[in-house]
Copies of this chain bind each other. A is one copy, B any other.
């Protein structure tokens, strides 16, 4: 039996959704963030190899990293459409988006988060100076890369219903976290009709709804000003 150690407002929501999609029994342990620091509590950090969420335990095995967990869990479901088989027409598309989540989308968000935190927490006039310097990073580096990524998403979701192709796959599940983080920041407020349709499509799924109900939080992603 697998135990999902789910930290509220964290990337472990992916695994909660995955397990609901698979409909297999699992044990769910919920952990709240420290109300002072917003970080994972000490028992969570002690459990997770790198102190990060998600983490699952299966007997004596302790496994972290979202996509490692998704791959491992799907090993036991070889017939699931959540991972198109080698040779499937959607295989390459699925793999690209599955790995673009940690490989391209998340790092851009992490860099933006660190810069944003520094800006907002520094006292004036340092904050003002940081804003000016970071504005250049956004203009030269972060914004063009983000824009290329979002445009490709919009294009691909205009061709097929899910990131992974015709069916929901691990690509959609791993992208759910950065997609909601982006939506919460207003990134999709103008345009992106195909991306909006994707959000509607996943939110209509019963497994997504039950994952949200078990999570029982007002939103999926973390933000520093809760």
The verdict on A68 contacting B98 (CB below 8 Å), with A75-B87, A148-B50 known, is yes
* Cβ contacts A to B, 11 pairs, < 8 Å: A50-B104, A64-B96, A65-B95, A65-B99, A65-B103, A67-B99, A68-B98, A68-B100, A114-B137, A126-B129, A130-B130
Q: B-facing mask of A135-170, CB < 8 A → 1, else 0?
A: 001000100010011001000000000000000000
A99 contacts B133, C-beta separation under 8 Å: no
A99/B71 in contact, CB under 8 A: yes
Is the C-beta of A187 less than 8 angstroms from some C-beta in chain B? no
Interface range for A: 35 or more
State whether the Cβ of A106 lies closer than 8 Å to any Cβ in chain B.
Answer: yes
A71: which B residues are within 8 A, CB to CB? 95, 99
Is A102 engaged at the interface, CB distance under 8 Å to the other chain?
yes
Asked if A49 is at the interface (CB within 8 A of a chain B CB), the reply is: yes
A133 touches which of B67, B107, B130, B149 (Cβ 8 Å): B130
Max chain B C-beta neighbours (<10 A), residue from A50, A91, A103, A148: A103
